[in-house]
Amino acid sequence: ESVILKTFFNDIKAEGWKYYSPSTETVDLSNNWELSFIDSDPVIEESYTVDTLASWTDIDNDSLKVNRGTGLYRKTFQFSKNPDSEYLLSLGDVRESAKVKINGKDAGTLYAVPFETKIGDLLQDGENIIEIEVTNLPANRIADYDRKGVEWRIFHEINFVSITYEPSQFDIWNIMPSGLLGPVTIKELIIFNPQ
């Protein structure tokens, strides 16, 4: 974790830094998600029940292998919260960015490894709802456009070339993984004072 430290010439009143020690308590949320698409090209109208997290390109729907868009993963789960602890949500492997909500409240936008955020203030004892909007790269859509000969390049007087200065073609790209691949876990963090 990186932090920015701000210094002052005078005394200030601020909350003390919290130190955390990971507990052995981990909740695995990797199974039984509902997946729908809130933005997709091509349009994906179907919803899916995902038993185990994996790339949405592995689902039996040809449009999912060539789409660019945002999938909404939703899950309801029971949780026993310790009010004296913090909790760390880890999304595991995300392709490519994720906007997280816990019980309808924003938990952050994650766009880089390790795809983790603290969610202790958002969790409640009992039933909780987690929603994760995952946006993939447009690579699968671009490759599909090139395979079909679709004129998608709208740039004027800009030449995209390969490393050998040949015109770029993306029809040779393999299908890239997309979505929430997991594992998704919540780990308890014990707050302690190092003094």
Per the prediction, the chain carries an average pLDDT of 94
C-alpha to C-alpha distances, 41 to 5, 79, 85, 177, nearest whole angstrom = 43, 36, 42, 16
* Domains annotated on the chain, with CATH: 19-137+177-192 (2.60.120.260), 138-175 (no CATH)
Q: Which helix (H) or strand (E) holds 77?
A: strand 68-79
DSSP 143: H
> Of 67-71, 83-87, 90-94, which range is least confident?
83-87
Of 9, 10, 30, nearest in space to 185 by CA: 30
pLDDT band at 128 (very low <50, low <70, confident <90, very high): very high
Beta bridge partners of 71: 37, 134
Indicate if the pLDDT at residue 160 is higher than 90: no
pLDDT band at 157 (very low <50, low <70, confident <90, very high): low
Q: Which two tokens stand for residue 129?
A: 């709802």
pLDDT in tens, 34-84: 999 999 999 999 999 999 999 999 999 999 999 999 999 999 999 999 999
Indicate if the pLDDT at residue 126 is higher than 90: yes
pLDDT value of position 1: 66
Of 42, 40, 61, 39, nearest in space to 50 by CA: 61
Residue 141 — φ and ψ, nearest 5°?
A: -70, -45
Global pTM value? 0.90
pLDDT band at 152 (very low <50, low <70, confident <90, very high): confident
The residue behind tokens 């040949």 is: 166
Identity (one letter) of the amino acid at 80? Answer: S
